[in-house]
A = this chain, B = another copy of it.
């Protein structure tokens, strides 16, 4: 089926480029489908009367994000020329098609829509319809693009700053900021906006009695379950797609390792979050008074937090690292969830705990647990020598100060 007039080298280059674009498009399709997953999880978790409203809003959010990310968002994120803060060209994708621009637009658009939809989850049942549309435009047109520019565009300050390897620890060869698949860029950004929004819109009536949280039960567990599984699928594809290319040496291995790490982190996350429920169930069974308090959402959120947390380093950690990340992610989720309840912040599907909490832990964990990360460096570098250098420096500082005083 190849074009007859291409040399082998050219034909291979074409196939490489096409494979990269198809890779982004196919993974983007899965992430696109995930938007519906967020909608179903939210719609099933709240009171039945708001279902239709939420589902229409979810759909509109996706497509409004499409318009906003096309018209201005992509330009702010990846337009060149650009500065450390944002890009400012290729508005409306008006420049001629170059290589993977359009494929990357599609994949990045699905991430922008994800960011919007994360926020929606936390504000569920309490926001005017029109307001939703406004923040969808704002997030996908400006906030998410700018943050993604910082971390992922060649000129973004988080990326160039990450290149200053010796900034904090002069001996480390690894950068201290790494965000492979958006633990920070997508999840923390979404989670932080959600937190701000949830504080602003206040609590649902009846959600808290005095200081005590009252559980508003989900009205449709199958819908929640469907949504959750669609998110699992989407986040897997999200982490995979963040690799961005499939033609380079090592891309295949990276993609494979990413799936393994994501599954392992999610698996241990769900186990950690389910263990209290399981223990309670067993205790009740052997006669000890247990209070079995385990819902579909809390178990599922453990897995989601695991996937969110591992995203930042999923290409660079060993599988045992993913296990550590997932374990702590499960605990992180439980702590954040209880903390938000104690602060009387109403978050119907624990979006903030999952995305802000999980994303933050992911950003912290990635540089520590990566291959050649901090643990690796600390365990291999000659600590004594450094200490030798460190003490004299301190002495000199103090000596200088004394000299100046005298």
Name A residues whose Cβ lies closer than 8 Å to a Cβ of B. 1-3, 6, 8-26, 28-30, 32-33, 35-36, 39-40, 43-44, 51-52, 55-56, 58-60, 63-64, 66-67, 70, 92-93, 97, 99-103, 105-106, 109, 129-130, 133, 220-223, 225-226, 228-229, 232-233, 236-237, 240, 245-249, 251-253, 255-257, 259-260, 263-264, 266-268, 270-271, 274, 278, 281-282, 285, 294, 296, 299-300, 303, 319-320
Q: How far is the CA of A245 from the CA of B3 in the complex (A)?
A: 11
Question: Which of B9, B15, B220 contacts A247 (CB under 8 A)?
Answer: B15
Stoichiometry (number of copies): 3
Q: Which of B26, B97, B103 contacts A26 (CB 8 A)?
A: B26
Nearest CB of chain B from residue A173's CB, rounded to whole Å: 21
Known contacts A67-B268, A103-B252; is-contact A19 B29 (Cβ 8 Å): no
Q: In angstroms, how far is the closest chain B Cβ from the Cβ of A379? A: 17
Instruction: Note all chain B residues with C-beta closer than 8 A to A102.
Output: 253, 256-257, 259-260
Q: How far is the CB of A235 from chain B (nearest CB, A)?
A: 11
CB of A274 within 8 A of CB of B60, answer yes
Known: A251-B18, A252-B103. A267 touches B64 (CB 8 A): yes
B18 touches A263 (CB 8 A): no
State the 9 A-B residue pairs at the shortest beta-carbon distance, nearest first. A18-B252, A102-B256, A66-B267, A21-B252, A36-B229, A103-B256, A63-B267, A55-B225, A106-B259
